[in-house]
Chain A
Amino acid sequence: MDVLSKPANELGELILSGAISIVDLIDKVYERIMKLESKVNAIITLRSRSDLLKEAENKEKEIKRGAAKGLLFGVPVAVKDNISTKGIRTTCGSKILENYVPPYDATVVKLLKKEGAIIICKTNMDEFAMGSSTETSYFGPTRNPWDLERVPGGSSGGSAAVLAAGIVPLALGSDTGGSVRCPAAFTATVGLKPTYGLVSRYGLIAYANSLEQIGPMARNVTDVALLLNVISKYDENDGTSIPGSRPDYMYSLSNPYHIKGSLKVGLVVEMMGEGVSDEVRKVILRALDKISGEGIEIEEVSLSSLKYALPAYYIIAMSEASSNLARYDGVRYGFRAKIDGDWNKVYMETRAQGFGLEVKRRIIMGTFALSAGYFDQYYLRALKVRTLILNDFRRAFKKFNVLVGPTMPILPFKIGEKIKDPLAMYMCDIETVSANLAGIPAISIPAGFIGNLPVGLQIMAPPLHEELLLKISKIFEDKIGLRNLIAPL
């Protein structure tokens, strides 16, 4: 258990120095999964023990040869199951991809491998990342390690749960409207959604492609920076990848207090208003109290267009989803319904049996928002609202270094509590979607607890200001004093 609770940045050094055997480490990871997985259900596909041990042995040989290198050499990592892994099935939490084995690695997976990381498993998620609770997975809901009756948040709930359960120190999630930050908040872990275009999306199975980014998740800010160092790279396979080199995010954390002048933090009033539970508000205000002072000024700021962020987000996300999910027709890959009939009939039936209810709901609504006669009223209007939100953020960032608010408006809720009411579920994303609409980086760090239920603090920065965002997160993490938390299981 001791090795498993180590932060990744320490673990990596211990491995390279020979202080920790990779084989032992992987064995422990495997044991812990065997012990906890039946309770948590965080994993869709676990690589076989023999495969993992073989990889560990090979890596150990490399260390002995002195050939070992890489930022994550021998470090176990979990990958969300919507990120393509060559030779390892990638289901997106859906029946329609139950047996799909990609013939290629996502760019981020290539980068992980290049730095020596060991991919342990593919983690559970809401079907096609559509959800905020990891309940819509075809493979069953993931449970929150802090309270097994409750959801871990979503859609990257499996990735958050393996962190909180102390299985691995690092995980990849994806964030379309909060899917990294929401489960981070619900599990007292740290999750970052980078600037749109900072991390390659090549190989990330699209839900809403104009909004989403792959994001690093860990149990502390430093490990998030480490994982971001690995996955953040210009990728010529992704037309939306921002060209140019990336800063060394770990290096920038080495002296986090080195920020010019005093730090101006804007507390977004729209994010503390209606719909935010008193408990959450209390924890956030208490955390901000700890943070303020010593050159950190916190002031309220209003971004009035945020009131419209949620419907704008859902119109755009559902529209794009209806398009991105059109390809699942059972001809080239994936599930096909076993019925006789012409292609229309077989497609209709394949998609009826292959998709879950929430996916169908979003495909239908997205088809509606794009259809003739409604396009201007819904989709185009939503894109214009997006412009207004962008402008509001630009204005706010002229005055503030970062903006803060709660990550989630409520505490982790009970499994089954919201699944029957789609709008209630959508409301969970009210704090997170605006960062996706604006393409800006946003992070969730632990702010505190109500009983054993975690609350996350969200921090947002201007585009491509991940360095600043991580520095500030590190300062806040120090001041709040919550890091490397593992749920008692």
Chain B
Amino acid sequence: MEKLKVKIGLEVHVQLTKLKTKLFCSCPSDYRGKPPNTYVCPVCLGLPGSLPKVNSKAIEYAVMVALALNCKINRKVMFFRKHYFYPDMTKNFQITQYDRAGGAPIAVNGYLKLSTSDKEKVVRIRRINIEEDPGKLVYPTGSIITSPYTLVDYNRAGIALLEIVTEPDIETPAEARLFLQKLRSILEHLDVCDCGLEGAVRTDANISVAGGGRVEIKNIGSIKDVEKALMYEILRQKEALLKGLSIRSETRHWDDVRKVTVPLRVKEEEQDYRYFPEADIPPIIITEEFIEKIAKQMPELPDERLKRFQREYGLPYYDSSVLVSNKKLADFFEETVKLYKRNPKKVANVIINDFLRWIHEKGLELDNVKAKPKDIAELLKLLDNGIISIKIAKTVLPEIIVSGKSPSQVVKERKLLKISDKQIIRQIALKIFREHKKAAFDALKDKKAINYLIGQIMKYTKGRADPAVTGKVVKELLTDLKEGKLKL
């Protein structure tokens, strides 16, 4: 089948988790893990008579994100009400922003540049809204279908969100992933969102294939799942097109257990949100000075950091881009380099090739990795000083990642010190020669047999024998054997 034109747009909901309070009230915002309905007040519960009061820091954070995404920041910002009924809503309208009917969201018309292997890609940002999160529904049976009633926890209600909406410029699921990774890295560099927290970043993706209907996939929880959902949806739509079916515009739900999208039953008429200005919040005036002040305080962003990594540490583009794609990883790298200045490239190699692989293999996140930069630096030093072999280093790494012990502690506990004493290795080699007499004699004429013998020594010493010394010892023994100085 020929390549069909795919258009993808994303709506990313980002919780400003670094705020101390909610968007419109002073309830604390660290609601995760708290007993239900203990982080609520008249305002976020929507009690009659309560009124919203805007969190100043939320505006600051929004402006920072808008600047990082190259947006035009509106000077007069308005809040609107968006109406729909649902039990997770405390007022049955959401205070958000709107770009029509005289509304002005915090920022519009930005872009984000993505670097893929072969080209630079620009994804345009349509707008950024500041809005409030709804509460959380809990289904007593665990299923929305079988639960005879619904439990509601409003701790999350009123948490500040940014809704970042792109133009449909994305053409592949991989690009969508790259966009989200870069956005995440930016948000973390700005220190406005701890994106690793459960539910901190939720994405709606809309996709149309070959000019077909626009399908919206709601509420996808992780970057990986956005990619998967889009791949699933492209396949589904292509198949339908092959069968001659047309794709109708609809809203689908991402089932993250079965990894499929399923249609949501939505009544057509429910989509009338009746947006209108929120009279309880006067317009917010964003002054030039305010923007300048924020611009001056902007921290280093991933693109700049990438360039600095190349310049300062002499890293290749690829290494730098992998490191800055995740702020914590980049921080980890720099911390390690501080403690191991002699070879940043070597640090990058260990982190990218080994460290990341093990994290992935153990199913961990950078957050719950026990190893600290000082451990990686120490590991590299042990290696440099000839105390452990590269092979040992590779077995020590996963253990320090999981246990949090220092490399030297692991080496000591597991007796992993390198054996480079020639006498000891000679004794071990002799023992191996005697146990593998045939191989020893074969080795006189066959190189393969030599490797076999060395391999047996390594196996016996669990990799601790110094390879250089071992090679030398084996060679000497073989010479002795050949000259009859050695009897087996």
Question: Interface on A for B, CB 8 Å cutoff?
Answer: 82-84, 90, 92, 97, 100, 102-104, 106, 201-206, 209-210, 236-240, 319-320, 322-323, 326-327, 329, 331-333, 343-344, 347, 367, 370-372, 375, 379-380
Contacts and interface: CB of A to CB of B under 8 A. Distances in A.
A154 B467 CA distance: 97
10 contacts: A100-B48, A102-B49, A104-B50, A202-B49, A206-B48, A327-B48, A332-B45, A333-B48, A375-B274, A380-B102
Given A103-B47, A347-B85, A327 B274 contact: no
A379 to B, nearest CB: 6
B81 interface: yes
Q: For this complex, into which size category does the number of interface residues on chain B fall?
A: 20 to 34
Query: 8 nearest interchain CB pairs?
Result: A210-B279, A326-B92, A370-B274, A205-B48, A203-B49, A84-B49, A327-B91, A205-B49
Contact of B93 (A323, A372, A375): A323
Interface of B: 42, 45-54, 81, 83, 85-87, 90-93, 101-102, 150, 152, 154, 272, 274, 276, 279-282
B385 to A, nearest CB: 63
Contacts of B46: 327, 332
Given A323-B274, A327-B90, A372-B272, A106 B48 contact: no
A330 to B, nearest CB: 10
A209 B52 CA distance: 12
A331 B153 CA distance: 11
Contacts of B92: 326-327, 329
Contacts of A203: 49-50
A367 B93 CA distance: 13
Given A331-B152, A347-B85, A375-B101, A240 B50 contact: no
B48 A84 contact: yes
Contacts of B280: 209, 239-240
B91 A326 contact: yes
B51 A237 contact: yes
Contacts of A92: 48
Contacts of B93: 323, 326
Contact of B85 (A90, A104, A319, A326): A326
Contacts of B274: 322-323, 367, 370-372, 375
Contacts of B49: 82-84, 90, 102, 106, 201-206
A201 B280 CA distance: 10
Contacts of A370: 83, 274, 276
Contacts of A204: 49
Contacts of A344: 85
A237 B276 contact: no
Contact of B101 (A209, A347, A380): A380
A238 B51 contact: yes
A237 B280 CA distance: 11
B150 A343 contact: yes
B54 A239 contact: yes
Contacts of A332: 45-47, 90, 154
